[in-house]
């Protein structure tokens, strides 16, 4: 059974717990910190997006479509469907000569941003697929099809050449043959891929510092494209999530130029920790952190609390960043009168591997 990471406490009474697994590795795959099962099999879901985007970058998409960093960032995102996200994608489509009517990601539950959803409902406007959190990822397939002259219809099917190209890039990022990938269907209709949690962390360590991948590792060929994608995400955190209550965005703003965070459904998150000084930790190398909450965390509180606490223990957040992220570190539930009802409390020790082996 996975260890308890977060306890939901109401006036001293433990109401429920969130169990899960956490692992931190460097770009060579060396384990640094861990708690629980580092080999737990997880589906990548939206954590795959920065790596799949490499397919478009390597195909010459930046030059062909004059892509701006914000446009790269939104194609690696799970955005909130706010107007800024829609405008960014629509501008890209106009320049590339792509119709947004081709988007096949659906509209269920979108937009994620509550203020935008309320405004649309008030105005009697139904959200279109462009407001879906995965419309940026779907745009990668549409642009690849435009660039290569492929028929964009049914770009989401397994045999479409854009899917084949994307799948091959994911396989390279995870150092496995494409025909060995274990796949499933994601919520937006695209394929998703399954890997051990430690391999998710390793991929994000590579994103943190692509140049740190040894030349003997075939994944080192991804470095130029991943560097462009990482820098675009760092420069545009509000494209990665949104302006309101999105942990990925908030963490990247709390620790600018130090973290790239990307969530996936069912409470998976990968965090790229860029090289540099850490708080209380004598280690400046780039690493990747992967976190999985066992129960899927429908309220987000377990994922929020565990992620911020794990980064604190890894020395990636200073006191100022922790204050900025206090709402996520110990998420609170309040009653209609503003009184504190319950609090999610992270409670675990992410010990260094060397200490675990003693």
What confidence tens digit (pLDDT) does each residue in 146-186 have?
999 999 999 999 999 999 999 999 999 999 999 999 999 99
**Both tokens assigned to 154:** 């049914």
Other CB atoms within 10 A of residue 242 CB: 26
pLDDT band at 353 (very low <50, low <70, confident <90, very high): confident
- Residue 140, H or E segment: helix 135-148
Q: How much is the pTM? A: 0.96
d(CA 54, CA 267): 24
d(CA 67, CA 57): 10
| DSSP code of residue 126 | P
Whether the predicted pLDDT of 355 surpasses 80: no
d(CA 78, CA 247): 11
d(CA 159, CA 328): 41
pLDDT band at 351 (very low <50, low <70, confident <90, very high): confident
d(CA 44, CA 304): 18
The rounded percent of the chain whose pLDDT value lies above 90 is: 96
Q: Which of 197, 206, 228, 73 is nearest to 137 (CA)?
A: 73
In this structure, what are the phi and psi dihedrals at residue 301, rounded to the nearest 5 degrees?
A: -60, -40
d(CA 207, CA 226): 6
Average pLDDT rounded to a whole number, residues 188-208: 98
SS3 63: helix
Query: pLDDT tens, 281-313?
Result: 999 999 999 999 999 998 899 999 999 999 999
SS3 242: coil
């Amino acid at each position: 059974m996975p260890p308890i990471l977060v306890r939901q406490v109401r006036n001293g009474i433990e109401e429920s717990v969130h169990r899960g697994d956490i692992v931190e590795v460097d770009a060579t795959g060396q384990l640094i910190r861990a708690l629980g099962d580092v080999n737990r099999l997880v589906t990548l879901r939206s954590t795959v997006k920065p790596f799949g985007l490499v397919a478009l970058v390597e195909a010459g998409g930046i030059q062909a479509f004059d892509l701006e960093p914000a446009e790269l960032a939104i194609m690696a995102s799970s955005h909130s469907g706010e107007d800024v996200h829609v405008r960014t994608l629509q501008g890209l489509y106009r320049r590339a000569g792509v119709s947004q009517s081709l988007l096949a990601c659906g509209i269920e539950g979108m937009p994620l941003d509550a203020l935008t959803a309320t405004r649309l409902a008030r105005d009697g406007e139904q959200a279109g697929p462009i407001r879906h959190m995965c419309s940026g990822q779907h745009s990668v397939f549409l642009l690849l099809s435009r660039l290569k002259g492929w028929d964009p219809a049914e770009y989401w099917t397994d045999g479409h050449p854009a899917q084949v190209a994307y799948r091959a890039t994911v396989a390279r990022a995870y150092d496995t043959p494409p025909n060995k990938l274990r796949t499933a269907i994601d919520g937006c209709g695209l394929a998703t891929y399954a890997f051990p949690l430690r391999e998710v962390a390793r991929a994000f360590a590579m994103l943190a510092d692509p140049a740190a991948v040894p030349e003997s590792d075939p994944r080192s060929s991804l470095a130029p494209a991943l560097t462009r994608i990482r820098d675009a995400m760092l420069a545009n955190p509000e494209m990665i999530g949104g302006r309101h209550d999105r942990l990925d965005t908030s963490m990247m703003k709390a620790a600018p130029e130090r973290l790239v965070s990307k969530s996936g459904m069912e409470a998976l998150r990968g965090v790229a920790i860029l090289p540099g000084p850490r708080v209380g930790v004598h280690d400046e190398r780039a690493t990747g952190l992967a976190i999985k909450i066992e129960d899927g965390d429908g309220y987000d509180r377990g994922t929020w609390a565990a992620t911020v606490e794990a980064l604190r223990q890894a020395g990636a957040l200073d006191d100022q960043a922790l204050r900025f992220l206090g709402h996520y570190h110990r998420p609170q539930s309040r009653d209609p009168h503003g009184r504190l009802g319950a609090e999610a409390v992270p409670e675990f020790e992410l010990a260094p591997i060397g200490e675990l082996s003693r």
